[in-house]
Chain A
Amino acid sequence: MASKVQEIVEKYRRDKGQLVPILQDIQTEYCYLPKAALEEAAKLLDIPISRVYGVATFFKAFSLTPQGRHLVRVCLGTACQVRGAPRLLDRTAEALKLAPGETSPDMRFTLSTVNCLGCCALGPVMVVDKKYHSNPSTSELQRIVEAAK
């Protein structure tokens, strides 16, 4: 893990100002931010671990606990809200048998909400990994759940 983190930090030329993108790359690699990786990054960048931890807990993009293989995010932005996002969230939570923020025991899914994906004209919107869905019906949701391994 240390060498991978080093690789990432070197990619950003050990620039302290790039801490957020560095953490994002670490998260992409491990699906979350492992404690050891954060400690290594702090050491390489010469930033106190307390500050790295502060940044890791401040931004919504980061998770300090392992996430599911498939990230299901329901947009709760205003335009989606007005077009029924809470209902979509209810139906999605029902389909996945998860509450927002939870990861399924088999590590297949993590359900979370996001405050605007920028697809506002298509609301309500849900994104699974990189695929966007506009107002998926209950049966479409079932299909998505079944298809994701």
Chain B
Amino acid sequence: MKKTVNLTIDGRNVEAEEGKTVLEVARDNGIDIPTLCYNEELEPYGACRLCIVEVSKNKRTRLVTSCLYPVEEGLVVKTNTEKVVANRKMLMELLLARCQGVKVIEDMARNIGVDKPSFKPEYLEREECILCGLCTRACAEVVGTSAISLVNRGVNREVAAPFLGTADDCIGCGSCVYICPTQCIKMEDTGDTRTIVNWKATFKMQKCKKCGKNFAPEKQLEYIRKKLNLPQGFFDVCPDCR
């Protein structure tokens, strides 16, 4: 049996399994903390900083990202102090300044009490990507192809295919499309072709021998077949028909 620790979150005593993060334990106990770059299936990244909380231990208090901070015996966590809220507001202002017109961000900002950023209008941008890294992380950690990556640094950072061309290693699974919080990665399925627009990658879809549906890219299926050591022709028939 794993060791448990006792800690306090927003005044409530909770018991938690050692090794879990403050965010996981908070959510397990119905306490919500906002996040943007977090996904349960992926290693926490700590880029958006929205999940910040105040933690106190031995008279020392500081702000930490709850997605990465491990729970400890006697830890006192506060998820909504004045300092936490003030910082979240500025973080949202910064995000809003970058992503004017992106509904998900605008809604999130409004919920925290931020209507418009305090910066000059001529400097506001209309970027759709929030650089959360979920797409590249999913591609590397879950899919395993690492077809795309974060390139350049600082203000020039972007998600891109190698050499800003075609992502040759992309298998067209669409994980990046589904995981993107702002839906800025576009996928088009027309007839027997799928295109992941942002990575200039096109794929021929596999047609189910039974129902005739174009259900997944051939390349993706071949990749999975090889990875899981499945027999030839395993994916001739779609999952619904099998």
Contact = CB atoms under 8 A, between A and B. Distances in A.
Interface of A: 35, 48-54, 57-58, 64
A48 B171 CA distance: 14
A56 to B, nearest CB: 8
A57 B169 contact: no
A54 B169 contact: no
B151 A49 contact: no
- Judged by DSSP, the binding face of A is helix
A77 B11 CA distance: 49
B119 to A, nearest CB: 26
Contacts of A48: 140, 145-147, 149, 169
B163 A35 contact: yes
Contacts of A49: 162, 168-169
B25 interface: no
Most chain A Cβ neighbours within 10 Å, of B148, B149, B152, B161: B149
A46 to B, nearest CB: 12
8 contacts: A48-B145, A48-B147, A48-B169, A51-B146, A52-B162, A57-B153, A58-B151, A64-B163
Interface of B: 136, 140, 145-153, 160-163, 167-169
Contacts of B167: 50
Given A35-B163, A49-B162, A54 B150 contact: yes
Contact of A51 (B149, B161, B168): B149
A50 B146 contact: yes
A53 B146 contact: no
A64 B151 CA distance: 13
A50 B152 contact: no
Contacts of B147: 48, 50
B152 A58 contact: yes
The 8 closest A-B pairs by CB, nearest first: A48-B146, A50-B149, A54-B149, A53-B162, A57-B151, A49-B162, A57-B152, A58-B153
Nearest to B165: A35
A71 to B, nearest CB: 21
Nearest to A52: B162
A54 B168 CA distance: 15
Contacts of A57: 151-153
B153 A50 contact: no
Nearest to A42: B162
A97 to B, nearest CB: 26
A90 B95 CA distance: 35
A57 B148 CA distance: 13
Contacts of B152: 57-58
Given A50-B162, A50-B167, A54-B151, 9 more contacts: A48-B145, A48-B146, A49-B168, A50-B149, A50-B161, A53-B160, A53-B162, A53-B163, A54-B149
Nearest to B158: A57
